[in-house]
Amino acid sequence: MYSYVFLIGRPGCGKSVVYHDLSKRLLEGKLIEETTRIDDFPILQEILREDKELEKHVNKEGGFEVTDLNY
């Protein structure tokens, strides 16, 4: 069985702190054997860096929207 936890919040709100604390407690309590962290920032940064023609994203107010999900 797979379980997922999504930590969503604004930059600097403490998502990494919560992740590290939660992982530590679950591992120490032997409730889980391992954790996998997927950070979307490097993925999104790469899309923006390579997408010079704006084919894979569009600029939106306050950020951007990825338009090609097959990246």
Could you please report the per-residue DSSP string of the chain? ----------TTSSHHHHHHHHHHHHHHTTS-S------HHHHHHHHHHH-TTSSSEEEETTEEEE--TT-
The per-residue pLDDT for 6 is 92
Residue 35 is assigned to a structural domain of this protein:
yes
Range of the domain at 36: 15-66
Through-space distance between the first and last CA atoms of the chain, rounded to whole angstroms: 28
Report yes or no on 2 lying in a domain.
Answer: no
Number of structural domains (the chain) is: 1
- pTM exceeds 0.75, yes or no: no
The rounded distance, in Å, linking the Cα atoms of 37 and 49 is 23
40 is a domain residue: yes
Q: pLDDT of 2-52, one tens digit each?
A: 789 999 988 789 999 999 999 999 999 998 999 999 888 887 788 778 877
